[in-house]
Amino acid sequence: MATRRALLLIADIGGYTQYMQFHRSVLGHAEAATRRMLDRVVGAARGFDLIEVEGDAAFLSRDVDGLDGPATLSATTRAVVAMHRAFHVERRFVELNMCPCGSCTRTSDLTLKFVAHVGEVATQTIRRRRKLVGPDVIYVHRLLKNTVDVPEYLLVSDDLLGSGDTADTGLPVREVPQDLEGFGPVRTFVVDVAELAAPAPLPDPTWARRLGSTLGMVGRGLPHVLPHRRPRQLAPAG
């Protein structure tokens, strides 16, 4: 099986499990809100291919052939900044729709974090679905289980940060040693996403968009609140 070198990036919604459980009564709205946010996140990752949506996370990759170390790191941070802003814009649009349910009004509880790694991958196709496989794919997923103490961050592996001159990255990184299951002690580096780019004001949705968003949420929620009809029982013969 042929392998290639790829940049692996996972965008993971923080607080997702608690959000979905707390808003179980309006599950349709909670699902629609997180789906909309993930869709905007993936759309903002220019140059990356979506490999899979994994519940509350999007797993993306791009080939690094022709990119040197600093360029690979720069591609990562550009994508993270764009995806982070897209997430927060859509989160605000959801929160400002006119539906008063707890799911819509409490989307501000959700955050977005990222992990990134560069390594060797192979492509596996099963029933026309393309997947990436290999130890480095496992490695980047293991990075999600970490000890980082900030809510929104970019955590990169030593392979990614070390592929360039770490002294010249210009990133406010700090080392956070990890002990990853199956890999043991490793070096990783974290940066607060808020420090990657100067914050810009988030736009407010127009009234037309607020109305459209509200109607969309109502439609998504109807199957979860309408009573389910039991099938009519046939009268016994005779």
Asked if 153 contacts 114 with a C-beta cutoff of 8 angstroms, the reply is yes
Spell out the domain ranges in the chain. Answer: 3-225
pLDDT of residue 220: 55
Q: Is 233 exposed, middle or buried (0-12, 13-18, 19+ CB in 10 A)?
A: exposed
DSSP 3-state of 139: helix
DSSP 3-state of 63: strand
The two beta strands, 153-157 and 111-126, are parallel
CATH of domain 3-225: 3.30.70.1230
Residue 19 tokens, joined: 């959000």
DSSP 3-state of 165: coil
Region of residue 157 (phi > 0: left; psi between -120 and 50: alpha; otherwise: beta):
beta
- Per-residue pLDDT of the chain (238 residues), as tens digits, is 688 999 999 999 988 777 666 555 556 667 778 888 899 999 999 999 999 999 889 999 999 877 777 888 889 999 999 999 999 988 888 887 767 666 677 788 889 999 999 999 999 888 778 889 999 999 999 999 998 989 999 999 999 987 544 445 678 888 999 999 999 999 999 999 988 876 767 777 666 666 666 666 555 554 444 444 455 555 555 5
**Residue 96 DSSP code:** T
Q: What is the CA radius of gyration of the chain?
A: 21
**Residue 228 DSSP code:** P
